[in-house]
C-alpha cells in the first residue's frame, strides 16, 4: 500500500449550515479527536460554512480541503456530486449553488401540505425549528420534526414511511444538471466526486451512463469508502474506479452523533492500488 493511501482522510460530512446537527467548529474538534488527518466539510448545496471550517481546522493543526455536496438530477433520480478543493470565493460556484438552493423553500411548503393531507399538521413550522440555515431546509429537518412529534421513532423510519418516492410528504424536485454541477466545481478549481454510488437505484446501464457522462464533463473521482457503502460495495466501487480511471475518495457522511452510524474518521483505508483524490488536490490543501 502506498503511504498516500494510508491517510485518515474524511472528505464528506454535514454541519448546521445544511442538515447536520454540529457546528463547523464542533465537527473540526470531533474530527481531530477521532484522528482525522485531512478533513472537508461538504454541506448540501451550500458553502457558507467553509471559512469557519477552514479556520477551525487550521487552529487545530488539521489539514483542510474546501467542500460541498451538490444535488443533481440524473435519469430521473437525485445524485449527489461532492466538490473538493475549489476556491470558495469563485463566482461560478457561489452563484450556481445559490440558484440551486432557491427551490427548497417552495418544495418544503409542498411537503408540509402533503403531510397535512395525511393528518400531520404544522410540519413546515416544525421542520423550521431544526433548520440552522434558512436557505437550506431539507428532508432531514422534516424527519427530525416527525421524530420529535412522535410520528416515528427514528429518522430512518421516517424515510421508510414518509418523504421518499410514493410516500406522503414526497415532492419530486428538479435539481442541477450533472453538466452544470461539474462546471461550477471545475471552474472554481475543484475536483468533482460521485458521492456514495451504492445508494442510487440505477439499472447497470443507467449507472454506466452516469459514470460515462461524469467523466465526459470533467469528473475525476468516486467515493469508494463511505459510511453509506457496505463492504461488498467498497469492493464493487473500487472496481468501478479502476474501470473508469477515476481517483478514489473516502468520507463518513457524518450528520449527527445521535443519527449517524459512521463517525468522523471511522472508516477502512482506501484500497492500496487506487489513486487517492487528495493526490490530485495536493496544492489545494490548507494547512
Ligand atoms: P434533501 O436534500 O432535502 O432531499 O435531503 C436529503 C437528505 O436526507 C440526505 O442528505 C440525507 O441526509 C437524508 N436522507 C435521505 N434518505 C435517507 C434515509 N433513508 N435515511 C436517513 N436519512 C436520509
Ligand atoms: Mn444530508
Ligand atoms: Mn448524499
Ligand atoms: Mn452527504
Contact 25, 60 (CB under 8 A): no
18 CB near ligand 1 (under 6 Å): no
138 CB near ligand 1 (under 6 Å): yes
* Ligand in closest contact with the CA of 81: 3
Residues 179-185, mean pLDDT to the nearest whole number: 98
- Report residue 113: phi and psi, to 5°: -65, -40
Q: What is the number of the ligand 1 atom nearest to the C-alpha of 139? A: 3
Cα of 164 from ligand 1 centre, angstroms: 9
Residues 186-206, mean pLDDT to the nearest whole number: 98
Confidence of residue 1 (pLDDT cuts 50, 70, 90): low
80 CB near ligand 1 (under 6 Å): no
Question: pLDDT tens for residues 115-140?
Answer: 999 999 999 999 999 999 999 999 99
260 CB near ligand 1 (under 6 Å): no
Residues pairing with 38 in the sheet: 9, 63
184 CB near ligand 1 (under 6 Å): no
Confidence of residue 2 (pLDDT cuts 50, 70, 90): low
Residue nearest to atom 4 of ligand 1 (CA): 139
278 CB near ligand 1 (under 6 Å): no
**One-letter-per-residue 3-state SS of 100-141:** HHCCHHHHHHHHHHHHHCCCCCCHHHHHHCCCCCCCCCCHHH
Report the alpha-carbon distance of residue 65 to residue 38 in Å, rounded.
7
* Residue 253 pLDDT exceeds 60: yes
Distances (CA, A) of 271 to 10, 237, 247, 276: 15, 11, 11, 9
Report residue 15 as a C-alpha cell. Answer: 454541519
Distances (CA, A) of 10 to 90, 107, 125, 249: 24, 31, 33, 9
Cα of 80 from ligand 3 centre, angstroms: 5
Burial 185-218 (b: 16+ CB within 10 A, else e): bbbbbbbbbbbbbbbbebeeeebeebbeebbebe
Report residue 94 as a C-alpha cell. Answer: 457561489
Question: pLDDT tens for residues 23-69?
Answer: 999 999 999 999 999 999 999 999 999 999 999 999 999 999 999 99
Cα of 20 from ligand 2 centre, angstroms: 7
Mutation test of ligand 1: which of 18, 19, 97, 195 has the most ligand atoms closer than 8 Å to its C-beta? 19
Q: What is the number of the ligand 1 atom nearest to the C-alpha of 19? A: 12
Question: pLDDT tens for residues 224-245?
Answer: 999 999 999 999 999 999 999 9
Amino acid at each position: 500500500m502506498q503511504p498516500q493511501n494510508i491517510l485518515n482522510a474524511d472528505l464528506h460530512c454535514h454541519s448546521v449550515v445544511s442538515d447536520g446537527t454540529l457546528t463547523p467548529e464542533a465537527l473540526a474538534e470531533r474530527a481531530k479527536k477521532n484522528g482525522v488527518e485531512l478533513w472537508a466539510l461538504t454541506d448540501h448545496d451550500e458553502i457558507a460554512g467553509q471559512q469557519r471550517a477552514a479556520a477551525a481546522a487550521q487552529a487545530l493543526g488539521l489539514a483542510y480541503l474546501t467542500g460541498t455536496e451538490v444535488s443533481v438530477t440524473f435519469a430521473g433520480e437525485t445524485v449527489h456530486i461532492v466538490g473538493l478543493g475549489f476556491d470558495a470565493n469563485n463566482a461560478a460556484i457561489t452563484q450556481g449553488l445559490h440558484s440551486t438552493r432557491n427551490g427548497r423553500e417552495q418544495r418544503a411548503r409542498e411537503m408540509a401540505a402533503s403531510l397535512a393531507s395525511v393528518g400531520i399538521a404544522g410540519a413546515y413550522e416544525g421542520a423550521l425549528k431544526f433548520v440552522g440555515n434558512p436557505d437550506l431546509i431539507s428532508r432531514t429537518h422534516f424527519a427530525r420534526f416527525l421524530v420529535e412529534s412522535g410520528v416515528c421513532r427514528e429518522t430512518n423510519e421516517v424515510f421508510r414511511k414518509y418523504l421518499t418516492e410514493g410516500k406522503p410528504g414526497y415532492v419530486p424536485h428538479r435539481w442541477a444538471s450533472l453538466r452544470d454541477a461539474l462546471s461550477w466545481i471545475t471552474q472554481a478549481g475543484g475536483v468533482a466526486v460521485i458521492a456514495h454510488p451504492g445508494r442510487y437505484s440505477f439499472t447497470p446501464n443507467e449507472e454506466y451512463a452516469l459514470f460515462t457522462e461524469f467523466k465526459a464533463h470533467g469528473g475525476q473521482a468516486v467515493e469508494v469508502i463511505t459510511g453509506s457503502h457496505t463492504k461488498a460495495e467498497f469492493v464493487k466501487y473500487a472496481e468501478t474506479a479502476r474501470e473508469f480511471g477515476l481517483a478514489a475518495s473516502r468520507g463518513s457522511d457524518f450528520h449527527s452523533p445521535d443519527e449517524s452510524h459512521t463517525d468522523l474518521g471511522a472508516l477502512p483505508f482506501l484500497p492500496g492500488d487506487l489513486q487517492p483524490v487528495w493526490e490530485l488536490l495536493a496544492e489545494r490543501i490548507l494547512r
